[in-house]
Amino acid sequence: MAGEPVNVYEFQELARKVLPKMYYDFFAGGAEDEYTLKENVEAFHRITIQPRILVDVSRIDMSTVILGHKTSAPIILAPSSAHQLAHPEGEVATARGAAACNVIMGLSFMSTCTVEEVASSCNAVRFFQIYVFKKRDVTEFMVRRAEKNGFRAIILTADTPRLGRREADIKNKMISFRLRNFEGFISTDVVSDKGSNLAAYAEETLDPSLCWKDIAWLKSITKLPILIKGVLNGEDAMKAIEAGVVGIIVSNHGARQLDYSPATISVLEEVVQAVQGKVPVLLDGGIRRGTDIFKALALGAKAVMIGRPVIYGLAAKGESGVKQVIEMLKNELELTMALAGCCTVDDITRSHVKTEKERCLCKM
């Protein structure tokens, strides 16, 4: 590829070239047939934008407020594991990129840099994502560390009673990466001759008994606000509100868990309607363009989470690659807003998009 990348797809190609196949497949792959992996992206293509003309768009303001934190754009870096497999500086470089662009960063429970290293690296607003382990004291230990180190919210990932079947990782015999957050507290060594060591570690540690009542336990061990990640329908959204979460993340875990679960953009509106404005709804999955962000906002999302594109930028160019990916998406969103006649994110309304179903109804 000649010259600088001009979109996030080209960053993906750069990442493919520089990463070992095992690591690229780990980041890029999904569960089983990867139907949902493809749908997460392609479902956006079936939504059209309905622009307004002759609007004064000489000034575009993409800023928004997420759980009390003002950010430059409705973008959060999704928590994703093992950034040091993409680049030696790992999550520290990602956090610095987020801080430089004034967006929120989500740090993964399974990060390869420690909570303390990320917290001391920059002034980014940070949310901490957690899994609940069978040994609950491990999760409690990590939550308290995050709170002590200035993280502003907890993201509970709720779609992982077991790890999805990621066949690329099985074929590659994906190795367990170094989980430095847990060193000296629990063993991080798992050896399996049946495929992915990561899957074996997850089977040993993840708590399949996790249920709605456990949110009360989580609230009892932290003063931080709790968001729940993994909601894909209105019924679960209402249960989440009843349980006392402050935010809902519509997510299918980057299509890495249950294949043939719906693309997140296709169920966003159902969740938004169920929530009725009681808490903010965020969208995770499939964002590759500024137009995708615009569509998610029009369907009711407060902000979107960006996962793989950030990893691809990190792999290709480290911290500067993270910044480039974020700025690329921000610039695309700004242009989309101008061309659609929206000066602020609050100007983006449901009338600015049409879904495939709506277009089909118009033809009847």
Structure letter (DSSP) for residue 76? E
- The runs of H, that is alpha helices, within 102-135 are 115-121
Q: Which residue carries 């695309």 as its tokens?
A: 332
Give the distance between the most distant pair of CA atoms in the chain. 65
Is residue 83 annotated as a catalytic residue, yes or no?
A: no
The answer to whether residues 330 and 101 touch, using CB atoms and an 8 Å cutoff, is yes
The crossing angle, in degrees rounded to 10, of helices 21-28 and 308-340 is 40
The answer to whether residues 45 and 332 touch, using CB atoms and an 8 Å cutoff, is no
Binding site residue list for glyoxylate: 131, 166, 253, 256
Euclidean distance between CA atoms 63 and 103, whole angstroms: 10
The answer to whether residues 286 and 267 touch, using CB atoms and an 8 Å cutoff, is no
Q: Write out the two tokens for 205.
A: 């540690």
Find the catalytic residue in 83, 87, 253, 352. 253
The answer to whether residues 47 and 271 touch, using CB atoms and an 8 Å cutoff, is no
Return the beta strands (E) in 51-103 as ranges.
64-66, 69-71, 75-77
Binding site residue list for FMN: 108, 129, 157, 229, 251, 284-288, 307-308
Hey, which residues are catalytic here? 253
